[in-house]
Amino acid sequence: MTLDALLVAPFVDYGFMRRALVACLSLGIGSGPIGVLLMLRRMSLVGDAMSHAILPGAAVGFLVAGLSLPAMGIGGMVAGLAVALLSGLVSRGTVLKEDASFASFYLTSLALGVLIVSLRGSNIDLLHVLFGTILAIDGPSLYLIASITSATVVTLAVVYRPLVAECFDPGFLRSVDGRGSLYHALFLVLVVANLVAAFQALGTLMAVGLMMLPAAVARLWATTLPGMIGFATLVAALSGFIGLVVSFHVSLASGPTIVLTASLFYLVSIVFGRGGLARRILSRPRFVG
Give the nearest distance from C-beta 168 to another protein in angstroms: 5
- Asked if 33 and 158 touch (Cβ cutoff 8 Å), the reply is no
Instruction: Describe the chain by its helix, strand, coil percentages, rounded to 5.
Output: 85, 0, 15
Distance between CA atoms of residues 78 and 163, nearest Å: 23
Residue 140 or 227: which CB sits closer to another protein?
Answer: 227
List the alpha helices (DSSP H) in the chain. Answer: 3, 9-13, 15-40, 44-53, 55-65, 69-93, 98-120, 123-131, 139-168, 170-176, 180-206, 209-221, 225-250, 254-272, 277-282
Residues 103-132 that bind another protein (CB under 8 A): none
| Residue 13 sits in the site that holds another protein (CB under 8 A) | no
Interface residue with another protein among 97, 120, 179, 274 (CB under 8 A) is 179
Which C-beta is closer to another protein: that of 15 or that of 227?
A: 227
Cβ count within 10 A of residue 174 = 13
Q: Pattern of binders to another protein over 35-64, x per CB under 8 A? A: -----x------------------------
Nearer to another protein, 176 or 250 (CB): 176
Of 168, 181, 272, 274, the residue at the interface with another protein (CB under 8 A) is 168
When asked if residue 71 is in the footprint of another protein (CB under 8 A), the reply is no
What are the two backbone dihedrals, phi and then psi, of residue 246, each rounded to the nearest 5 degrees? Answer: -65, -45
Residues forming contacts to another protein in the complex (CB under 8 A) are: 40, 158-159, 161-162, 164-165, 167-169, 171-177, 179, 183, 222-225, 227-228
